[in-house]
Amino acid sequence: MSASASYVLSVGEVMVRHPITVTPEAAVSEAIRRMAEHRVGAVLVTEQERLLGIFTERDVLRYLAGSSDSSWLTKPVRELMTPNPWTVTPQSSWEQARSLMETVHVRHVPVVEAGRLVGLVTARDLLDSYMEYLNRQVELRTQELRQACRQLEERDQEIRLSMTIAGRIQSRLLPQATPNFPDLQVAVVYAPVDPLGGDYYNFAVSHDRFVGMLIADATGHSIPAAMIAIMTHTAFLSCASQVTQPAALLAQMNRYLHGLTEEHFVTAFYAVLDRQTGQLSYASAGHPAPWLFRSQTGQCQRAEARGLILGVAAEAKYQEQSLTLEPGDRLLLVTDGVLEARNASNEFFGAARVEQILAEIGRSSPQNIVTTLADTLRRFREPLPQADDMTIIAAGWR
């Protein structure tokens, strides 16, 4: 709590420091004249700075109601005043003075310190001063809030800059180029929501014959997902000896990630193409099954494989499947940021739309496939912003 928030307004700050006073022997007429001259509702009766009483309009009315003496204006104030009035000290709080006035039904309270009159606090002055105090507090709090907002904005800019730099560093972990052979072309669209993303992909080439393609997706996005994606990158690099064996590679990655991801998890799909035979071997760790476009028939099929998501059970087993690519066939891999994208009507983009697009343009280049799918997805989603990281990989053989 700031100092201003805990501050208590005292009587000494709101009192009238030089109240109107008269001596006890002054005539009532003199007291009334001074009250009218200074436009106040009370005068204090003092003797050598010692408070004896208070004289107010109420004292006049009370006296006249009980007496028919016409010479009352010449009487000394001490005969009409209220002796020994309620008092407060300068150290009393605003709330204590207000409570006293409300309890004893008075509008004027003398302020006394060490037996000496030092001021007067009135209901009007109390209210006016308190309103002024509140206004000052509002101004002060507004300044504090503006300063806090500036600090938050500066901190936000610092965090955004740090995330942007971290995103650039993370992007260097991704392949700087795709495998490019006369008989194999690969294209990628990688679009994280934030500078740091939870999607990850990579390639492995063995003896210029076997080409491995990995696509992975950590739950969520931004910093936590990015940390898991970085761990996935390290796990993949540790599997150099298994790059031609999809099931073995995922099993080793799973053992590496087990116990590291806590409540987060990673889905992954890994496929290896033998460029000499056209055989495609693959395994999945809970990842959406890719699509295979058959150029000869113009039909699409899913490359299904069963396997537990990475990092959950250390000894998880992964199922390896294989099929043979024919000239002109296309393989399309996506993360769930594609399938689960929603439009303004809260509809999912879904697998059916992906398959329809691939069926229509499957004979075109892998680059055209990923670009068309990404553009179609953007138009489907608009005007909503992208909600999840998105990766699309297309590979075409011969």
Report the alpha-carbon angle 359-362-363, nearest 5. Answer: 130
Q: Are 119 and 96 in contact (CB under 8 A)?
A: no
Q: What is the pLDDT of residue 161?
A: 78
Give the CATH number of the domain where residue 28 resides. 3.10.580.10
Q: 306-356: per-residue pLDDT in tens?
A: 999 999 899 999 999 999 999 999 999 999 999 999 999 999 999 999 999
Q: Do 293 and 390 share a domain, yes or no?
A: yes
- What pLDDT sits at residue 4? 47
- My answer on whether 186 and 54 are in the same domain is no
Return mean pLDDT, the chain.
Answer: 91
Q: What residues make up the domain containing 51? A: 3-129
Is the domain of 283 the same as that of 362? Answer: yes
Q: What is the pLDDT of residue 52?
A: 94
Q: From 129, 163, 196, give the residue that closes a domain.
A: 129
In a domain, 144, yes or no: no
Domain annotation covers residue 203: yes
Q: Output the pLDDT for position 202.
A: 97
160 part of a folded domain = no
Shared-domain flag, residues 111 and 205:
no
Mean pLDDT of the region 60-64: 86
Q: Domain for residue 239, yes or no?
A: yes
Query: How does pLDDT run across 247-264, given as a tens digit for each residue?
Result: 999 999 999 999 886 778
Give the domain-ending residue among 113, 129, 145: 129
Instruction: Return the structure tokens found at 2.
Output: 């700031």
Instruction: Report the domain count for the chain.
Output: 2
Split at pLDDT 50, 70, 90, the class of 1 is: very low
Domain contains 145:
no
Domain of 308: which CATH number? 3.60.40.10
User: If pLDDT is split at 50, 70 and 90, which confidence band does 2 have?
Assistant: very low
Same domain assignment for residues 103 and 180: no
The verdict on residue 143 lying in a domain is: no
320-324 sheet: strands from edge to edge: 199-206, 210-218, 266-274, 279-285, 320-324
Give me the residues paired with residue 397 across strands.
Answer: 184
In a domain, 163, yes or no: no
Last residue within a domain, chosen from 129, 144, 163: 129
pLDDT value of residue 6: 55
Give residue 209's pLDDT: 96
Q: Which residues of 243-271 are buried (b: 16+ CB within 10 A; e: fewer)?
A: bbbbbbbbbbbbbbbeebbeebbbbbbbb
- Residue 138 counted as domain residue: no
Same domain, residue pair 188 and 120: no
- Find out whether 112 and 51 touch, Cβ atoms under 8 Å: yes
Query: What Cα–Cα distance (Å) separates residue 98 from each residue in 40, 56, 90, 123?
Result: 19, 19, 13, 8
Residues 275 and 178 grouped into a single domain = yes
